[in-house]
């Protein structure tokens, strides 16, 4: 693991997920920019200090010196955004499989570069768009593919949070001290780059369709904030199919309010992340149906995605574990189906969305192609 040391929420989530799916053992890494803190973390985790490295370069050199059967097979990158690309490029170039946090890179060019590297070296690259790992999101994907909704006529997704309010209405030093609000570390966008891209990914994942154009209206909310904290993005798939992505980090009191809804000529499907065990199918002619995990009526992907019997709620760790499970199958050259984990291609699509949204807003809210 690169990053994810003491106090890191995302690093902890990745470690829990890898343990839940029972396919991985954390054997080493570079857990902090401070080598002493990295070693302290390793001691707490029971990791051999011989495999705690000062840098990614040192990790690569030392691990490649080991026999193939003993070296790290895969590396999880859970650093701030700006470090994803340089570390991923070095690791891929040296033959390591990757599980990487999103957004994959800072630019579209960097994303395309990684896509070429993955193909050239025939490696597994899993991008942790975690919400695709929920069983009912996978059920939604398969029901849409079966044509349950008929002709898709509208697609909406939202991702609302409120955590940044406490930061931007604090002191100026708090604003400048948060890496997600610093373009040097976060990239061209805060809101769309951090959470809007999840909504975008859920749309393309569940429908199998690709967004062609976007028209974005982004808002920095407060003077002194360099990146967007709120925004609405109209999306267009073709002449007749359109939709909207709404994302915000300043919705006071909201926590992780994700909703994906797909509306068709025969019915509509709606899923809410804070109630992840329920997928609703609406119809003009029949009563509303509610799908839940761990039932035989679900599609195969959904049924393979739960770890507990019916009635035992599962959440974000189990969803991330499903992505780790899919990546493990790929690394082992086992058979797996599209959709078991987001790939480097999803990373490219995400970067195209983020930059198209930012460019659309900068040019005066105009339609912009991905």
Give pLDDT, residue 177. 67
What is the rounded distance in angstroms from the CA atom of residue 195 to the CA atom of residue 212? Answer: 20
What is the rounded distance in angstroms from the CA atom of residue 14 to the CA atom of residue 324? Answer: 9
Determine the topology of domain 2-130 in CATH.
Rossmann fold (3.40.50)
Give pLDDT, residue 313. 83
DSSP state string for 40-102: HHHHHHT--GGGB-SSHHHHHHHHHTS-TTTS--EEEEES-GGGHHHHHHHHHHTT-EEEEPS
Per-residue pLDDT of the chain (370 residues; tens, 9 = 90+): 999 999 999 999 999 999 999 999 999 999 999 999 999 999 999 999 999 999 999 999 999 999 999 999 999 999 999 999 999 999 999 999 999 999 999 999 999 999 999 999 999 999 999 999 999 999 999 999 999 999 999 999 999 999 999 998 877 667 766 888 889 999 999 999 999 999 999 999 999 999 999 999 999 999 989 999 999 999 999 989 999 999 999 999 999 999 999 999 999 999 999 999 999 999 999 999 999 999 999 999 999 999 888 988 889 999 999 999 999 999 999 999 999 999 999 999 999 999 999 999 999 999 999 9
Q: Which string of b and e fits 167-185 if b means at least 16 CB within 10 Å?
A: bbeeeeeebeebebbbeee
Give pLDDT, residue 179. 84
Give pLDDT, residue 173. 61
Give pLDDT, residue 176. 67
Crossing angle of helices 344-362 and 108-121, in 10° steps, is 170
Crossing angle of helices 135-145 and 197-207, in 10° steps, is 50
Question: What are the tens digits of pLDDT across the range 111-137?
Answer: 999 999 999 999 999 999 999 999 999
DSSP state string for 243-273: EEEEEES--TT--SEEEEEEEESS-EEEEET
Question: What are the tens digits of pLDDT across the range 183-193?
Answer: 999 999 999 99
Determine the topology of domain 134-303+342-369 in CATH.
Dihydrodipicolinate Reductase; domain 2 (3.30.360)
Q: Is 282 helix (H, G, I), strand (E, B) or coil?
A: strand
Q: Which string of b and e fits 48-59 if b means at least 16 CB within 10 Å?
A: eeebbbeebeeb
Helices and strands in the chain, H and E counts: 14, 13
pTM of this structure: 0.94
Q: C-alpha angle 185/190/193, rounded to 5°?
A: 95
Q: Which of 196, 205, 187 is nearest to 245 (CA)?
A: 196
Question: What are the tens digits of pLDDT across the range 53-112?
Answer: 999 999 999 999 999 999 999 999 999 999 999 999 999 999 999 999 999 999 999 999
What is the rounded distance in angstroms from the CA atom of residue 253 to the CA atom of residue 356? Answer: 29
φ, ψ dihedrals at 249, nearest 5°: -110, 10
Give pLDDT, residue 351. 98
List the domain boundaries for the chain.
2-130, 134-303+342-369
Is the CB of residue 130 less than 8 Å from the CB of residue 327? no
Q: How far apart are the first and last CA of the chain?
A: 32
Give pLDDT, residue 317. 96
């Amino acid at each position: 693991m690169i990053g994810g040391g003491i106090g890191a929420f995302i690093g902890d989530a990745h470690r829990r997920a890898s343990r839940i799916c029972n396919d991985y053992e954390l054997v080493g890494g570079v857990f902090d920019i401070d080598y002493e803190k990295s070693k302290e973390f390793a001691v707490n985790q029971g990791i051999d200090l011989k495999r705690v490295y000062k840098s990614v370069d040192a990790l690569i050199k030392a691990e490649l010196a080991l026999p193939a059967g003993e070296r790290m097979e895969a590396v999880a990158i859970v650093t701030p955004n700006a470090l994803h690309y340089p570390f991923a490029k070095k690791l891929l170039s040296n033959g390591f499989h990757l599980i990487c946090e999103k957004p994959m890179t800072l630019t579209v060019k960097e994303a395309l570069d990684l896509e070429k590297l993955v193909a050239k070296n025939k490696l597994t690259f899993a991008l942790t768009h975690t919400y695709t790992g929920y069983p009912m999101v996978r059920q939604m994907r398969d029901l849409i593919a079966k044509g349950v909704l008929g002709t898709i006529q509208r697609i909406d997704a939202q991702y609302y949070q409120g955590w940044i309010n406490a930061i931007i209405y604090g002191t100026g030093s708090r604003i400048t001290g948060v890496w997600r609000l610093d373009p040097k570390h976060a990239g061209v966008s805060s809101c769309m780059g951090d959470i809007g891209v999840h909504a975008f990914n859920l749309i393309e994942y569940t429908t199998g369709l690709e967004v062609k154009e976007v028209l974005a209206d982004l808002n920095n909310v407060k003077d002194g904030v360099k990146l967007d904290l709120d925004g609405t993005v109209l999306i267009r798939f073709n002449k007749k199919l359109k939709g909207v992505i709404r994302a915000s980090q300043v919705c006071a009191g909201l926590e992780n309010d994700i909703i994906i809804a797909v509306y068709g000529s025969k019915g509509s499907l709606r899923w809410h992340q804070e109630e992840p065990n329920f997928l609703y199918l609406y119809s003009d002619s029949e009563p509303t149906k509610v799908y839940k995990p761990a039932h035989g009526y679900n599609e195969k992907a959904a049924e393979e995605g739960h770890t507990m019997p019916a009635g035992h709620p599962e959440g974000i760790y189990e969803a991330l574990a499903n992505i780790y499970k899919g990546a493990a199958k790929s690394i082992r050259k086992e058979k797996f189906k599209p959709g078991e984990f987001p790939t480097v291609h999803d990373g490219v699509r995400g970067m195209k969305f983020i930059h198209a949204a930012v460019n659309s807003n900068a040019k005066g809210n105009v339609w912009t192609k991905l």
